[in-house]
Structures are given as C-alpha cells and as structure tokens.
Structure 1
C-alpha cells in the first residue's frame, strides 16, 4: 500500500498561526520515510521557494499549495458577515500551469480581495483553476460548514459545484481525525457524499505544529496573533491537541477502515510535478522601443562606446596607460558576459544608473566584487578603474563557475523613490516590477515580551527578564541562558518563568509580520 503523505501543513509562513519551521519539518518527513510533503499556508505562498529548495536538497518532492480563503459572495462584498463566513479551500499545484494559477490566486487575494484576510471568490477560482487539485479543507471549509449547519442538501450541491469545476480526480473531500466532536459528524457526512457522488476522499491532519508537546506554544502563538492572553475566555483557540505532524502509522490507524483515504495522499503527491525552473536564470528582456538589434549587439556597442569615453579619463590620469592591455581585458570580459547570457542584465543596471545620474541623484562609485569589472566601469555602473586598483574580474564573474552577477548599487535616499518609479514605468509597470517582502521575526527579547504578555505575566517582570538577555547581535535564547546565569537560574527556580522560556524556545525566530524590504526590487 502506498505510504501516507501530509498534504495539509501550515508552516511558519502562516504568520502567527503556523509554528512549523521548515528545516525540522523536512527532517521529520524524511525520518518518517516520506518521499514528499506539502506546504499549504493560509492565503499566501511566502515560503514556496525556500521550502522547495530545502525539500529538493533533502530528497523530498515539494508539494506546493495554499489554503485559500474563499469569500462567501464576491470580492466586492466586504461586511462583517462576509468576514465571518469566510471559507477555506486547499489548493495544490499539480502542474506548472497549476503553479502559475496558484501564484495568480495568491496575488489577486492580496491585491484585490484583501479584507481582514487575503481572499478569492468563486469567479476568480473559475478563471484560474486549471492544473490545480482541490480539497474541501477543514471544519472551516464550505462543505463542512454547511454540514454542521444541518444543510446537507446545500453541502451536496457545493460538492457537485467543485467536482464540476475541477473534474474527477482533481477534487477531494478531506477527512481528518483530530478529536473535535464536530469533525466526526463532518466525516460521516463526507463519507456518505463521497459514496453517493463518487468523489474521492483524502486524509489530512491540518498540521499547525510539529510535535504533540508544542500544543501549548501554539496556543500562545494564537494569543500573540489576536492580542489576547491564555486566561481570556473569549479568544481564538483550537479545541484539540491533535494538530501536529503525525506519523504515517498514526494516520493509518485512524483511517484503517477507509484505506483509500491514506492511499490517495501518495497518489496525489506523485501527480504533483512542478518545475520551478531553478536550473536556469530568468532575466527580464532589454527591448528599447524601436530597437531591432539583439541585447548582445546593443551591449557590445555600448561597452565599446563607453570605453572610448573612459579612455580619455584614463589617459588624463595616466598618460602611459597601455591601450592594448585594456582592450585585451575588455574583449575577455565582453566574451564571458555574452557567453553567460548576462548582456541584458548589464544593460538594465546601466540604464537605471544612467537615469539616476542624469537626474542628479547621487549614486555610489561601486561596491563589492562588481568593482573588478572593466565592463561595469565602461557602462558607468561603477566609477572605478579595476586595472589601476589591481581588481580581478574573476572575483565578480568566473567562467569556470556560472553564477549570477551581483552588482551592489547605492542610491541616495533623496531620489531613490524616483529611480524606483522610473524602473516600474520603463520595465512594464506593477505587473512586472515589484519591491520584495521582508519579515519581522520573534527575536529573543521580543519573543520573551510577547510570550510573557500572552501568559499574563506582569509586564514589569517580563521586561526585567527580557533585559537580562545580553546585548549581543542576533543572540539566541539558548546562548543567552548560557551567558547570563541569572536568567538560567530564574528559569529553574520559578515554574512560570521556566514555562515562559520553554515556550519561547519553540517560537523564537518565527516570522511575526510581513513588510516591504527597504531596498530589494524584482524586475521580471
């Protein structure tokens, strides 16, 4: 019988909801003998690339997915009731087209559908469902919600709608065993619907934390998310301690009477074959309006023209400079850059630097290994003559080891926004140019304060504990306990502080919120 594969997993990128770190998750999956594992974070694909790379290094097949929030009506409807009736839906990318559609759905959810949560609606789903496999999700899914409301006819109609949209073997009714009484009711109804409508079933566990013992830490994480304490009676709380990354044996024991629910997990995982294109480079095209020449031709022409301009400056500083030495170096660099396929990259970087300089925006003279390139100097990307300073081109680009060129560019803060706007306008608008994301994390002092607040420990006491952490950059809690004996002693002598520290160890370093990176920009 095919083994079980977890296909409903919330990682650290289900912000302040998932407490599963990627490295321990992958280690656990490998330890269980699984050949694949999924990532299905709430409404986002933040962790997709990191997850995929780490899975592949570990010999696991990454299953790329998302637990989408589906609006009960349309994206235009934004009332308290619409938010209250938000439905969940698991979506997995089966093909490359499915992955592209999943990206579109995640983007639409954030940019057009955001209302408390990143949402899609059924119209959006109809437009971008190809290549995706869907599950009916947890108790917050549309079909389970209708079952629990007693409207079995509507639940069956909803199942028929999803089946008609996704097709046979691409829509599954999702069953779980999590100790919640309502889940048993839902499972029985789903078994009945599956039998009558011939819809396949799949078993999942809606994993939110890695180990069973992490349930208290996860409860505290939810308190941090909602600004509550564990003592608040009216707060968001999971009514089970079963949402951990269970072993195949545990899952098989729960669903032994319906073995196909287990078998289907492996069959689905085997069908999910997505190539994220890690083996090649994907550069934006450099196509000036009305220009018919190739990027390689434009590149070489601009470099050689730029060299003639720089040569006059070089001779002014050093009348004895050997032109043949410079031309030999220039020919070599041009050949390497063109053979590596980086001509367009240099032209684009040169273009927005030229814009900045033309518009009086200060630009740094050159930093890092790019200062070793004569081509960069000729294109005015840098202002440093590498031959004068004895700088090696191979430190920047080595023909023996193909890797991305890394050009560090510094713009003055007064004018940087103008450069960004130029790049957006010049290279396709917001559909093709974007600032990148960054994550604030629960670092050592911050996690102590957040967890302490959630546990209801007096603020003054929590603040005193946080201030015991040594003033060392990026110090971990583990190292803080070693370096500060008072902290370790307090954790041992006071049970409530010991619990605080234990929970902090589980949550430390998890992403707390997403924001816009101060400098990173992607041109696609």
Structure 2
C-alpha cells in the first residue's frame, strides 16, 4: 500500500535511513513497500538487498517463535520533482523498468534539461500522478492517480470516478514521528537557505507522512475498496527479485576482447610473458613459476579483463600521450602487473605476496591505483569514457554527511541567530560557558538527530566503473562540474553490488618528475630514462642524501616528519626507505612500533626473535611486523596456514571482515595448525598476541614500495639536475611547503633567480642555463588575461622596447600596469619604479584601458625630466612580500629590527646537546597533534639565517603562553635534545620578533 516512501537519500527531505525503514515496517507487519526517493535511485538496490537479508537472517528466529517467516516485498522507483513541485512518481515493474527510470532521469541530469510535465512512455514502469492535477488527455495504461485519505471527500462527482481503475492509495512516507517531522523542517530550511519559520508549506511534507500498519491504512479507504484493489494489483505486478543475489557477482566488464573471455586469457598470457622477458630477461625460472601461479588465480577469479583494461589505460598513457604514471597499492604485489608495466615495483625483489592482492577466497574485488600528473589525469579519464559505450562507464560517487560543528552553524543560521553567537557555539574554548546556554542545548539536540545523515552527493577522487551490463540497472547518473557521468552511490555500495573500481588518480609529485625530465632535455639536451629505477636505487650519491634528511621537493620524503625519520634511521638504501614509508603512518608511530623499529635497526645484533621461523621471516624488519605482508608471512610459515587463509586472517584483524564466525574459525585454525608444527602453547600465544596487535597498524609493503620508487626518481633528478628539478616543482605548485621554501631551495642550487619581467618571463617559471625567471602565475593580483597575454604578445611580435611600447601593444589596465611596475617587471628600461609610475599616468592617465587600434605613425609621448626620486631596498622588500607572498632578493631576517641571529645555528646543534640555547628561526610550518591526555602540542619547522632547517617541539604547558603567530622570525629559547642522532629544540620560551615598518606605510 505504500507507493511513495522516502529515505534519507531524498537529501534534506527524508529523515529515516533504509535499515530504519525496513525495521519499522517489519515491526508493523507491513509486507510491501515502494522506495521512491526524490530525483535519485541511490538507495534502490540497498533497499532491495536489506529486505531480502531481513528475510534470510530473521527467518530462523521467527520459526523458533512459532511465527511464519515473511519478507517485505521490496519495490523501487523514483519520485520526479521540479524544484519543490511533485510531477509524478515512477515505479519499476522489474529490473528493466528500473533501468528505464534511471536512464530517463540520467538523460535529463546529463543534458541539464528540465523534467517534462508529463511522464515519459517507458516500458515496464508505472507512473502515479498526485491527485488534483488536471489532465487534458486520457491516462495511459501504466498511469495512475494517487489519492490521500484526506482527499477522498473531493471524489464526490469527480471525473476520475469514471476511471476507477486509475485511482490508487497514496500515503507518502517521509518521517518516523513528530520529532522526525521537526527535523524534516530543519532540513528543508537548510536546503532552501531560509529561516525555519519561513519555509513554505508546499516545500515540506504533510505531518502524517509516516508508516502506519497496513490494516489501518486500508480502513481509511474502506468506502472505496476499488482503490485498495487497484493499489494491490499495481504492487503485485512488480517483481525486483532479480536484484537479489545470495553471493555478490562481479558487475564489471566480463571481457576486454570482443570475442570474449577465452581470447582475454590468451591475450593476457601473451602480453604478460612478453613483459616478463623485458623485466627479467630470458629463462628466469623463478619469475616464470610466479607468473604461472598468478595467471592461474587471475583466470580462476575471472579478472583477465580487469588486468587488460588497466594495461590498455597504461599503454595509451605511455604510448599515445607520453605520460608518466605510478601504479601503486596492493596491485604492486603482482608480477603480472609488473610485467604489464602497470607498476614499477618488482614483487620478487621485495618478496611481495600476490595473495595480498588476489586469492581464491577473496570476496571483495581488488583494484589498481594509477597516479598521473595533476594536469594529465583528465586526458586519461576522457580516453576511458570515449572507449566504452554510454551507460557502461561512469565515475564513482561519494555521499558527504552532516558532521560536527558545521551542523551547529547551519542550524544556527536557520534559527536566525546572529553570526557572533553562532561563532561562540562553534568555539571549543567556550564549551564550558555554552553548557549554561539553553539555545546551545537546543542546537545540540537537533545536531544529535542530524549528524551523519546524507547531506549531498559528489564525485569520488578517481574511481571509475566499467560495467558489463548498463550501470543504469543499478543507479541513475549525475553530471557534476567535472563533466563526467557519475553514479549516485559511493564505493561501499559499489562493492556491495559487485563493482571493482579503476582508480585513476593524480598527484603533483608526478608532475615534478615529468616536467623536470622535459626541462632537462630543453636546458641541457640530456635524455633521461626515468623508469631506470634499478640504476637509481644503487646510486651512492642518492643514498647519502637520503641519510642527510634534506630531500626538499621530493615526493613523500620532504615533510618534516619524514626528514626526521630518514635522519634517525641514517637511511641509505631502498629497503630502508620502503620501511620508513610504512612506519611513518600515524597508527604505527602512535603504537610505539616506529621507535621499536629504529632501536632494532641501529642494534640488529641485540634483537631477540621468538623462534627461527620468526627470525627468518622478519629479519628484514628486525622482528617488527611493519607490513601487512609480514602478518601473512608469519601466519603462513610459523603457523602453517596457506597464503589465502593467511591473507583472509590479516584482513579480518584489520577490521575489514564482517563474519565473526568465519573469523573465529580462522583463529582456531591458526592455533591448531601451529600446534601441529610442534610449537609450544606459550610460543603460539605470544606470536598470536604480536600478530593481533600489529595487524591493525601494518601497511601494505607494495604500497610503500611504490612510494619509494617515486621518491628515488625525484631524488635522482634533484641530485643531478637540481635547478631544473626545483623549477619543475614550482611549476607544478610545489608540495608540502609554501612556495617560498622551494624558491629558497632553488636559490641554494646556485641558480640566479629573477623577479618576473615582461621581456623574459612566461606564465610559469622559465630556466635558461643558470638564469631563472619567475612566472606571472605567482604574482598576486595579476589577472589571468595578462598572465597568458603578455608572453603570448611577446612571442608573436617580439620583445617590448619600453613601457610605452608595452602599453600600446598590450591592452593593460592602469591598476594592472601599476602592479607590474611595483614588482619591477619593467626594470629592463633602466628606469626606477617611481619614474615608471609617473610615466604610466602620463600614458594612461586615469583611464582603465586604451582603445585597441593600430597607429599609422609611432607617436612618442613627450618625456619629462624628473627630479631624483628616493628609493629604498626595504620598500622593494615589502613590495616583493606583498606581490609574491615572499621576498625574493631579501629574506625575512632582513626585515628584523635586531641584527641578532641567535647564539647557535642549525648546523651546530649537535655540539650543544642537553644545553639551553637561543636560536632565531624563520617560520616554515607547524603541525598540531593531540597527546594521550587529549591536550594539544605542536611541532615547528624553521630556517636559520644560513638557510638551514631545524625543528622544534612545543609542549602543552608552554605553547598557550608562547603561541605561534604566523609567518615571520621567532626568538626561540629551548633545550637541544637528540633522538637517534636527530637534534631538535624543546621550546621553553618563544616570541615573534619585531620588524621594520614598511617605509611606504610610514610615509602615508
């Protein structure tokens, strides 16, 4: 009887999630429901699955109680609205009908077309119009009119009585009770961005839109039994049971080749073995054996197409586009992926287990993460969308929820509270004061009901689905700003339905590498094979720099925490870097595993292993289970589990396994199998304790190895071509640090870095020999049309001869010309800035721009002889700070009123361990962390006057008294401490130093 049920996927409208709807319906004995969310089918398959699972899980309990088990018959559709106005409700008769509804909505979403007033002619569907609508035509066979019980009085002499078979029960369901209705009103106010009291009635649901027992609903229509019969016939004609699968089947594309899966297997084998020869040479028995094993499992699990599609993407990127990529994640455990060049990680060299990626018992699909440069990813995405048919490829969606203090702010706005009061409610420092405020408690009460409810749909960072059958069987599609069709549910629902995604991601580190290789070719005429990783990892110069802990600009290893770790480890090889990439993760560090690893790394002879098997399997990591692969190895070699069960157990311990019964069986199997190998009960218990404590924190070794490969590539470029590499970093918008840090690093290479110049600069930073000109992109306030237009005009018509020549050729506005003059972009004229400022008013006056027309004769403006104008270096420094965000030809120390630069410099800290010293540092960055007592402490990074980095620790008892105050130079009093050879300052006192006033500000 309930043809129009809304869930929370009717965003900012419905208040019940799908489990709540099903649970409530079962409690009332309701046997049939139609989920019809507003302009979305996000929850359709979840609703069907939930209803069938309720039947499976509760049947046994019902039988024991003497009740006859039953299921709720799930039916789904879509409610179509234009803004807040209901047009019609579409109900799917079957799976084909659901597809038709989804494609109808998808077409209008993708084409940005308004929905039609009348429902479309779609097979296998029903449409229900709201009672009260006027029809100028005869209703079609599949069209009905829904009438509420409160509207039955209007049927007296109504024309629809002549079409009795067209009337059906219409009892919409939106809320659970009166409290939920109030929540609904808040949601509508937030959606409409208006006050709670200003939400119009037509934008809200009726107050009685909640579930009631079916018999009670039928009683409301007892004088019109034909309406009940019509409704039941409609429901009986619907059957969506085809959606239910006891075991989830893969929905991905079944075959890469048109001829089918058999040819896929042959093609994958041929390409893989060709790659095997490229990677390992001929007749490598170990690699061949590993290849055969993996191919057997891939064929068994029907993942040939998945590998071939990924290979096709990578081949297109490397071949047609000449793009660089990084394949990472657990896919790097595969020798097939390595030989297909999906990854550059050698799984044999690193003793990586394919079972971590794929095995016979894996129920959830694996996926590859493929990274491209930030500005190349869209090209690859378009290739994928163009290659596969419409409705068979789409982006994965995401669903963001209402969270935390943002809800308080939204609720405060719809209540009409002043901004200051709302700000006070979201200020953690006023928590105690707010507890006495009744309004605050009202907001918290609403917050409690609203938190974690779906708020809006968006797009996944890079997940793409390629489907065998049309994706529209399972979802309608949106078209977010990126311009690609996107499913209306997230990765968790995709996995539940049976999709494995292709992750096409991006990162700036790849852009650094790609552009550096290009610039080196242009600037030095040197070709670099950046994929020759085997040569990089054994380079002693690279390994020495790793141990120094100064790889600024290099992907993944440049952050303060990573630099510290590399120095503490005295990292000097690839395997140590792989380990560092894993133990740097927050969970590992906070568990104490990081410290334990460093201690054992420096004293390997003192490591005590529990037994020979543990020593053999964990000697690379000194007995610490750093990687997920370590957990698998111990379960396999110590306890005797096969590699498949070992990975299942590993996954279960990380909290990603839902069946407690199956987990308990595996644990029992671990103990039984270990006893059979002759281990004592005490030893087995201790090994299990270590496994269970480490498993939740461990990280995929293949993932760490992928990061480490890219780090070595960056490090190679920075070591041998530092100028070109740092230019590439700047042109790809840096990395962990602010832009000025990379400019500083570029200057340290010996490059002569110049301010932007209209005759030498391009949009981005440009290098010619050792001369570097900053680009116009970094100039704050410069409009995009001039960032692009100035270099374009110069390339087309030659250099500018003077300021006047520039003004005549570039349709510059006065304010933009002044900005460039103040920055020194016309210094080629030989005139100082103030003279040029005088000239620009002579050329442009107070007009915004000159007319764009050619001159028959070149008429020069009259030149005036000006008196000498006063200029100062401090003025220039402030102008650079204002227009670039940092001073290029000066540093922040030049702004200080004091000449004091500290008693100790960063390079001398090793000589003052345990002493209290004074240092002066230029602020680089800070990081806030919470202690075990839930108090805050900070870590700071600074540069001294010599340009060397040093790090500080600010404990909770000192930082509130001596807080950070943004960028600038600080006087630091603290104790020099060292941990594993890495010195830092434990701050006792801390103050920002005064600077000279801006001379221009003083004059004004």
TM-score, length-scaled by structure 1: 0.76
Preserved CA contact (<8 Å) 1:372 1:396: yes
Q: Relative to structure 2, which stretch is displaced further, 243-252 or 442-451?
A: 243-252
Cα distance in 2 between the residues matched to 1:267 and 1:448: 47
**Match in the other structure for 2:464:** 521
Q: Which residue of 1 aligns with 2:80?
A: 68
Q: In structure 2, what is the Cα distance between the partners aligned to 1:425 and 1:33?
A: 49
Aligned to 1:227: 193
State the 1:445 CA deviation: 1.4
Report whether the alignment pairs 1:49 with 2:45.
yes
Aligned to 1:425: 386
1:361 aligned residue (323, 332, 344): 323
Aligned counterpart in structure 1 of residue 334 of structure 2, from 369, 373, 377: 373
In the alignment, structure 1 segments of 5+ residues that lack a partner are 71-82, 138-142, 147-154, 316-321, 471-483
Equivalent residues of 1:340, 1:402 under 8 A apart: no
| Worse-matched range after superposition: 460-469 or 442-451 | 460-469
Partner of 2:276: 307
Is the CA contact 2:52–2:244 (under 8 Å) kept in the aligned structure 1? no
Distance 1:260 1:37 in 2: 20
Q: Which residue of 2 aligns with 1:441?
A: 401
CA RMSD of aligned residues (A): 3.1
Q: 1:152: which partner in 2? A: none
**SS of residue in 2 equivalent to 1:103:** helix
Q: Would you say 1:276 and 2:243 are equivalent positions?
A: yes
Offset at 1:432?
3.5
Question: CA 1:408–1:458 in 2, change beyond 3 Å: closer, same or farther?
Answer: same
For residue 16 of structure 1, give the secondary structure of its aligned residue in structure 2: coil
Confirm or deny that 1:21 pairs with 2:20: no
Q: Aligned equivalents of 1:32 and 1:304: distance in 2?
A: 62
Aligned to 1:458, which of 394, 418, 436? 418
Q: How many residues align?
A: 447
Report which stretch shifted further, 444-453 or 456-465. 456-465
Q: Are residue 145 (structure 1) and residue 138 (structure 2) matched?
A: no
Q: CA deviation at 1:87?
A: 5.2
Alignment match, 1:149: none
Contact map agreement 1:212 1:244 (CA 8 A) in 2: no
CA distance in 2, matches of 1:12, 1:37: 16
What is the rounded CA distance, in whole Å, between the counterparts of 1:48 and 1:239 in structure 2?
21
TM-score normalised per structure 2: 0.41
SS at match of 2:341: coil
C-alpha distance 260-197 of structure 1, shift in aligned 2 (>3 A): closer
State the 4+ residue runs in structure 1 displaced beyond 6 angstroms: 288-293
1:9 matched to 2:9: no
Q: Which residue of 1 aligns with 2:94?
A: 95
Which residue of the partner structure matches residue 174 of structure 1?
A: 146
| Closer, same or farther: CA 328–54 of 1 in aligned 2, 3 Å | same
1:512 counterpart = 2:430: no
Structure-2 residue corresponding to 1:297: 266
Identify the structure with bigger relative contact order (alpha carbons < 8 Å, sequence gap 6+): 1
Relative to structure 1, the CA distance from residue 444 to residue 200 in structure 2 (aligned partners, 3 Å threshold; closer, same or farther) is same
| Whole-angstrom CA distance in 2 between matches of 1:391 and 1:292 | 28
Who is 1:161 aligned against? Answer: 139
SS state at 2:3 partner: coil
Which of the numbers 28, 46, 49 marks the counterpart of 1:32? 28
Pairwise CA distance, 1:420:
0.7
Map of 1:106 onto structure 2 = 105
| Corresponding residue SS for 2:265 | helix
Could you tell me how far 1:55 is from its partner in structure 2?
Answer: 2.9
Question: What is the deviation of 1:194?
Answer: 4.9
Give CA-to-partner distance per residue, 1:2-26, whole Å, 9 cap, x none: xxx4220122222222222222112
Query: Which residue is equivalent to 2:120?
Result: 125
Query: Per-residue CA shift, 1:124-148, capped at 9, x if unaligned?
Result: 712xx110122223xxxxx5132xx
**Mapped partners of 2:160, 2:133: distance in 1:** 16
Cross-structure match for 2:306: 345
Distance of aligned partners of 1:46 and 1:403 in 2 relative to their CA distance in 1, 3 Å threshold: closer
- CA distance in 2 between counterparts of 1:235 and 1:252 reads 27
Shift of 1:260: 4.8
Do the aligned partners of 1:361 and 1:415 also contact (CA within 8 Å) in 2?
A: yes
Match of 2:576 in 1: none
2:400 partner SS: strand
Given that 2:254 and 2:305 are in contact with CA atoms closer than 8 Å, whether structure 1 keeps it comes out as: yes
Query: Cα–Cα, structure 1 residues 406 and 371, in superposed 2: closer, same or farther, change >3 Å?
Result: same
CA 1:402–1:453 in 2, change beyond 3 Å: closer, same or farther? closer
Deviation at 1:264, TM superposition (A): 5.0
For residues 264 and 212 of structure 1, the distance between their equivalents in structure 2, rounded to whole angstroms, comes to 30
- Flag structure 2 segments of 5+ consecutive residues without an equivalent: 56-71, 468-1004
CA distance in 2, matches of 1:352, 1:377: 15
One of 199, 205, 209 as aligned partner of 2:165: 199
Residues 341, 246 of structure 1: alpha-carbon distance in 2 compared, 3 angstrom cutoff: same
* 8 Å contact from structure 2 (residues 253, 466) kept in 1: yes
Instruction: Give me the whole-angstrom Cα distance separating, in 1, the residues matched to 2:440 and 2:149.
Output: 34
Using the TM superposition, give the Cα deviation of residue 286 of structure 1 relative to its aligned residue in structure 2, in angstroms.
Answer: 5.1
Equivalent in the alignment of 1:244: 210
Structure 1 residue matching 2:5: 3-state secondary structure: coil
The alpha-carbon distance between structure 1 residues 325 and 63, as it changes in their structure 2 partners (threshold 3 A), is same
Q: Deviation digits for residues 103-133 of structure 1, max 9, x if unmatched?
A: 1111123123534xxx1454x712xx11012
Q: What is the match of residue 77 of structure 1?
A: none
Contact 2:193 2:414 in 1 (8 A): yes
Distance in 2 between the 1:237 and 1:469 partners?
38
Does the 8 A contact of 1:216 with 1:503 survive in 2?
no
Alignment of 1:488-507 (within 5 A): 489-490=435-436, 494=438, 496-507=439-450
Q: Which has the larger radius of gyration?
A: 2
CA separation in 1, counterparts of 2:40 and 2:224?
32
Matched residue, 1:258: 224
Q: CA deviation at 1:332?
A: 1.9
Counterpart in the other structure of 2:350: 389
Q: Per-residue CA shift, 1:264-321, capped at 9, x if unaligned?
A: 5555434321223754223336556999982222111111111111113xx9xxxxxx
Answer whether contact 1:377 1:384 (CA < 8 A) is retained.
yes
Do the aligned residues in 2 keep the contact of 1:210 with 1:244 (CA within 8 Å)?
A: yes
**2:372 aligned counterpart, secondary structure:** coil
Q: Deviations over 1:11-68 (max 9, x none)?
A: 2222222222222112212222223322111222222233333333223432110112
Q: Deviations over 1:465-497 (max 9, x none)?
A: 223399xxxxxxxxxxxxx6666x34xx51x33
Distance in 2, matches of 1:42 and 1:204, equals: 16
Range that drifts further, 413-422 or 292-301: 292-301
2:127 aligned with 1:134, yes or no? yes
CA contact (8 A) 2:89 2:127 kept: yes
